[in-house]
């Protein structure tokens, strides 16, 4: 029964599910919330991910107010909507001002992307306080790791900032208005760091990269004061055909990763959840996830297995590289849901362009990305690798502002300006400026950008749009080029959407494509990563999963993508030049080399 899983036994009132994108945070958060509701508790399930897919999984359109879930007595759910939260936040701040001139000035201040972040954070703080005291338990389905660490650090950051800065104004409005929130922020921080009230469920997979990120997250959460943690290894594969080479390779790979788990993780209380042969969509599937022998059986898909792929319909990744290489330069933005393999695909594309004689800059906007780990060695000649480091960019931005706009100011005025720049939201501004420089660099060379998971990337796109509108307003008919205009230019930017052959990742890629098109950015290609299709597996569980993949591949092929490529699952982790080169020209259907 589900009750044998330790993390379900009398946890704290505030339960956070976090981890690397794609490890199954949302599935486990939903299944756990359903379990507690079934026990008679009143449970609120909250998504803090700007690209939440709770709606699809629960089968109901959610909003920013708690809604009861049909056929799930005791369960309520909501999405924190950054746009709605930002407008409500603006109205609250403006409502405290009587002077129309002050209102106009502050509304301009509140138009930036950092206001959207702090507004979503303000909603989050309310959930930690007594705003929803009627619920026995509040379950947080969080955004992928980097975005979540930023969110969880804000209560401490804003409490400290407000304690040290008595006056002035930030991009969030007058500090006097924010000071009214200081006690609320402090209360939120106390609850987050109280082991009797808050537990963090670190979700991972039996995969080396996911375990390494979980270990880094564990250390950073402990540094923030969130030491009460529980590890859940999700999607552990139990082979049904031990003689199948694909199943054997997958099992050996997972066992090696678990055996070499970082020591800090191994010391945490731990549970394992087995891999299922169906998508986690709908209440029956979610309820069955935590059962050792689930009574739920997914409908058997129709149609044949794809053991031999049509290279014309599903070409390898190298075909995209060949077409990109003909352009000579440009920005290649790799986007998608967390955990779909954006970093690996971005590194493979960059390596492929270098192999074709081009100089390439490979970078990332993901706070939790580790591109150098994927390369696994010193970059080859012609490939420059770095990342947009939020802390380093913030310090550089502060120094630049002080040395330019601070010239000629008195010591007192300069100190006041520096205090204002120490606002936590300065980080978002600094990251945007670094992003803008990188976008412009692609006029002369290839830049391959591994972006943060969807939600965080959309916030960055919002900042790009806000800057464009500001420049258009200030410059009028004057000729200018903004980062948004470069992103909209198909001669400058090619957006590649990466997904998996599963219902939720493909639905989220569709939603991302729609968001980009509304911003007049047309995605250039889709990459379906880590497919079992074409593997030739005989294992019954893997074949059932492969049947579902065929349905999802047809969704993509029938009109979703102008160009597409398929990357089959690799038995050996695609790390280093050899592993990444294998992604470009995979041996489809070949018997896998077993990992040592």
Is 343 designated active site?
Answer: no
241 is catalytic: no
Segment holding 158, helix H or strand E: helix 145-164
139 CB-contact burial (10 Å; exposed 0-12 / middle 13-18 / buried 19+)? buried
Tell me the two tokens of residue 374: 């994927």
Strands 75-79 and 67-68 come out as antiparallel
Question: Which residues fall within 8 angstroms of residue 36, CB to CB, at 6 or more apart?
Answer: 8, 43, 74, 136, 137, 139
Q: Are 84 and 64 in contact (CB under 8 A)?
A: yes
Cα(26)–Cα(439) distance, integer angstroms: 32
Kind of pairing, strands 173-174 and 169-170? antiparallel
CB atoms near residue 99 (< 10 Å): 9
Q: Which residues contact 548 (CB under 8 A, 6 or more apart)?
A: 277, 278, 279, 298, 301, 501, 502, 503
> In terms of DSSP bridges, do strands 446-450 and 383-385 run parallel, antiparallel, or are they unpaired?
unpaired
Report CA dihedral (406, 407, 412, 418) to the nearest 10 degrees: 20
22 an active-site residue? Answer: yes
The three-state DSSP-derived secondary structure of 517-560 is: HHCCCCCCEEEEEEECCCCCCCCHHHHHHHHHHHHHHHHHHCCC
CA dihedral 463, 468, 469, 474 (to 10 degrees): 130
Look up residue 255 and give its two tokens.
Answer: 């066992």
What is the Cα–Cα distance from 415 to 479, expressed in whole angstroms? 36
Q: Verify whether residue 18 is a known catalytic residue.
A: no
Tokens found for residue 44: 């609120």
Q: Give catalytic status of residue 244 as yes or no.
A: no
Active-site position among 25, 253, 337, 342: 25
Q: How far apart (Å, rounded) are the C-alpha atoms in residues 525 and 262?
A: 37
Catalytic residue chosen out of the listed positions 19, 21, 22, 339: 22
Burial classification of residue 120, based on how many CB atoms lie within 10 Å of its CB (0-12 exposed, 13-18 middle, 19 or more buried):
buried
**Catalytic residue among 19, 21, 24, 330, which?**
24
Three-class secondary structure of residue 22 per DSSP: coil
Tokens of 294: 């689930």
Among this protein's residues, is 215 annotated catalytic? no
278-296 burial string, b = 16+ CB within 10 Å, else e? bbbbbbebbbbbbbeebee
Q: Clarify whether 504 is annotated catalytic.
A: yes
Indicate which residue of 26, 493, 499, 537 is catalytic.
26
Bridge partners, 199 (sequence order):
15
- Asked if 518 contacts 546 with a C-beta cutoff of 8 angstroms, the reply is no
- Closest alpha carbon to 560 in 530, 517, 525, 521: 525
530 alpha-carbon distance from chain centroid: 18
Is-contact 439 486, C-beta < 8 A?
Answer: yes
Q: Which of 20, 47, 48, 49 is catalytic?
A: 49
Q: Of 27, 148, 159, 426, which residue is the catalytic one?
A: 27
List residues with catalytic annotation. 22, 24-27, 49, 504
């Amino acid at each position: 029964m589900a009750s044998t899983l330790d993390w379900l036994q009398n946890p704290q009132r505030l339960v956070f599910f976090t981890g690397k994108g794609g490890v199954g945070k949302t599935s486990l958060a939903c299944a756990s919330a359903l379990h507690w509701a079934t026990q008679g508790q009143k449970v609120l399930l909250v998504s803090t991910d700007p690209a939440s897919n709770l709606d699809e999984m629960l089968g109901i359109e959610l909003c920013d107010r708690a809604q009861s879930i049909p056929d799930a007595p005791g369960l309520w759910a909501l999405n924190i909507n950054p746009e709605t939260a930002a407008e409500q936040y603006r109205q609250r701040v403006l409502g405290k001002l009587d002077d129309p001139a002050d209102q106009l000035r502050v509304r301009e201040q509140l138009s930036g992307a950092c206001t959207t972040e702090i507004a979503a954070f303000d909603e989050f703080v309310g959930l930690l306080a007594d705003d929803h005291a009627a619920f026995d338990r509040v379950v947080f389905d969080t955004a992928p790791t980097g975005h979540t660490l930023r969110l969880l650090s804000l209560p401490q950051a804003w409490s400290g900032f407000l304690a040290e800065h008595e006056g002035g104004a930030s991009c969030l409005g007058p500090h006097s208005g924010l000071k009214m929130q200081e006690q609320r922020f402090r209360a939120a921080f106390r609850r987050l760091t109280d082991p009797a009230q808050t537990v963090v469920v670190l979700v991972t997979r039996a995969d080396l990269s996911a375990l390494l990120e979980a270990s880094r997250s564990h250390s950073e959460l402990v540094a923030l004061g969130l030491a009460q943690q529980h590890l859940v290894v999700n999607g552990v594969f139990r082979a049904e055909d031990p003689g199948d080479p694909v199943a054997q390779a997958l099992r050996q790979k997972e066992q090696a990763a678990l055996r070499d788990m970082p020591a800090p993780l191994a010391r945490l209380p731990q549970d394992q959840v087995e891999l299922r042969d169906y998508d986690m969509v709908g209440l029956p599937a979610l309820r069955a996830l935590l059962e050792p022998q689930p009574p739920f059986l997914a409908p058997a898909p129709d149609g044949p297995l794809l053991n031999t792929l049509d290279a014309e319909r599903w070409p390898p990744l190298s075909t995209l590289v060949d077409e990109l290489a003909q352009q000579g330069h440009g920005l290649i933005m790799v986007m998608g849901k967390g955990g779909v393999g954006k970093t690996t695909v971005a590194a493979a594309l960059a390596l492929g362009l270098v192999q074709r004689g081009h100089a390439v800059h490979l970078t990332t906007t993901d706070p939790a990305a580790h591109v150098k780990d994927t390369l696994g060695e010193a970059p080859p000649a012609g490939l420059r690798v770095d990342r947009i480091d939020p802390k380093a960019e913030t310090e550089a931005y502060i120094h630049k502002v002080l040395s330019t706009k601070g010239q000629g100011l008195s010591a007192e005025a300069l100190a006041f300006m520096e205090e204002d720049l120490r606002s936590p939201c300065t980080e978002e501004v600094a990251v945007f400026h670094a992003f803008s420089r990188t976008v412009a660099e692609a006029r002369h060379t290839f830049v391959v950008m591994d972006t943060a998971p969807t939600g965080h990337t959309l916030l960055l796109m919002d900042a790009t749009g806000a800057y464009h509108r500001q420049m258009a307003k200030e410059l009028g008919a004057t000729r200018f080029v903004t980062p948004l205009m470069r992103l909209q230019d198909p001669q400058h930017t090619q957006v590649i959407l990466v997904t998996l052959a599963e219902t939720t990742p493909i639905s989220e890629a569709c939603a991302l494509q729609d968001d980009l098109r509304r911003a007049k950015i047309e995605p250039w290609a889709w990459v379906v990563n880590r497919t079992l299709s074409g593997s030739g597996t005989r294992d019954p569980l893997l074949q059932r999963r492969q049947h579902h993949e065929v349905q999802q591949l047809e969704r993509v092929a029938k009109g979703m993508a102008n160009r597409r490529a398929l990357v089959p699952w690799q038995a050996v982790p695609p790390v280093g030049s050899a592993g990444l080169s294998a992604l470009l020209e995979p041996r489809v259907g070949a018997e896998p080399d077993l990992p040592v």
